Structures are given as C-alpha cells and as structure tokens.
C-alpha cells in the first residue's frame, strides 16, 4: 500500500518540485510507492481532512491565512498520532518550540538537501507504520490463540465431567 502524503504549501512551484523530487527519489531507491496530495492553503487542506486519510503531513510553517501551527492544531483534533513535519525557509525559535512540544515530529529547511532529509523521515515513518501493522496482526493472533485455548480447556473440562459422571 502506498505511503499517503499531504503536501501543504502556498507555493505551487515548491509543491511541484517536491512532488517530482519525491517520485524521482522513490524510483531511484526502489522505495515504497507514494501517493501525494497537494494543497495550496491551510484552509484547502482542512476541508480535506475528514474525507482523506494520510500517513504523513508536510506543512509550510508560514502559510498565509491559517498558518502551519494552526493547521497542526486542527489536525491534532482529528488524529493525535499522525506524523506532521514543517517546511520552513530557516529554522527559528517558534518552529523549534513546536517540535520540542512534540506537536510536530520533524522540520525541514527549504534547501538543497530537503528531499534526502524528507526521504529519511519517510523511511522511518514507513518502518513505524509497518511495525504497528505487524504488532496489530500479532495481537490479533494472540487473542485468537487465547480464545482457542479457553475453548479447548472448556472442552477438556466437559469431557472430564462427562467421564466422572459415567463412573
């Protein structure tokens, strides 16, 4: 299943650059398929939240109108665990505070290494997603095994009771 990414930035050229760059990196590395949705404003993205499902959100910190931090707060009302990263021109104290408060998981500067930096974050997020899926599968198997053991125990107990009644 492809990794679903929301890109939220008011610069159409940056959105196109990121989309093309991520697909290029994905093809070069043979990595997980990507599904990328682009949003030109915080408002546009907020409207899509109830009907869309994302694995990662990449937000411009300095969006006009509803800024990145406000969008992040709205996202947290829908999903407390959704990985969110900020894209900034330069890392400044307000962005560092948002990261240190555990509201956002990472921050990327708009520079020549943004795509490789993003790739490392996406790789980590995808690994966490796969581990969570595997854990859920194991927990399901454990529940099935427990119910099976309870059923087996009840059956054995019924056989013992029947045998005792015969004797």
Please give the residue range of the domain that contains residue 84.
3-139
| Residue 45 vs residue 123, higher pLDDT | 45
Asked whether residue 42 is assigned to any structural domain, the reply reads yes
User: For residue 81, is pLDDT > 60?
Assistant: yes
32-47 residue pLDDT tens: 678 899 999 999 999 9
How many domains does the chain divide into? 1
pLDDT at 98 over 80: no
Instruction: Output the CA–CA distances (angstroms, integers) from residue 84 to 6, 127, 146, in the order listed.
Output: 9, 16, 37
State the DSSP code for 151: H
Q: Is residue 115 part of a domain?
A: yes
Least confident interval from 3-12, 38-47, 100-109? 100-109
Does 12 reside within a domain? yes
pLDDT band at 106 (very low <50, low <70, confident <90, very high): confident
- Would residue 111 count as lying in a domain? yes
Q: Residue 160 falls within a domain, yes or no?
A: no
Size of the chain in residues: 167
Residue 29's pLDDT band (boundaries 50, 70, 90)? low
Q: What is the CATH number of the domain that holds 102?
A: 3.40.50.2300
Would you say residue 159 lies in a domain?
no
Q: By C-alpha distance, which of 107, 109, 103 is closest to 70? A: 103
Q: Is the pLDDT of residue 100 over 60?
A: no
Per-residue model confidence (pLDDT) at position 128: 77
Residue 104 belongs to a domain: yes
């Amino acid at each position: 299943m492809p990794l679903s990414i929301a890109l939220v930035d008011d610069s159409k050229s940056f959105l196109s650059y990121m989309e093309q760059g991520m697909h290029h990196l994905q093809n070069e590395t043979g990595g997980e398929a990507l599904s990328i949705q682009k949003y030109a404003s915080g408002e546009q993205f907020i409207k899509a939240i109830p009907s869309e499902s994302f694995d990662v959100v990449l937000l411009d910190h300095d969006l006009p109108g509803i800024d990145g931090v406000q969008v992040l707060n709205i996202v947290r009302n829908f999903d407390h665990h959704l990985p969110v990263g900020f894209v900034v021109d330069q890392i400044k104290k307000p962005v560092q505070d948002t990261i240190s408060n555990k509201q956002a998981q990472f921050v990327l500067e708009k520079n020549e290494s943004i795509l490789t930096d993003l790739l490392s974050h996406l790789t980590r997020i995808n690994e966490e997603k796969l581990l969570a899926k595997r854990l859920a599968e194991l927990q399901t198997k454990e529940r099935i095994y427990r119910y099976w053991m309870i059923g087996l125990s009840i059956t054995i107990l019924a056989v013992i009771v029947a045998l005792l009644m015969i004797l």
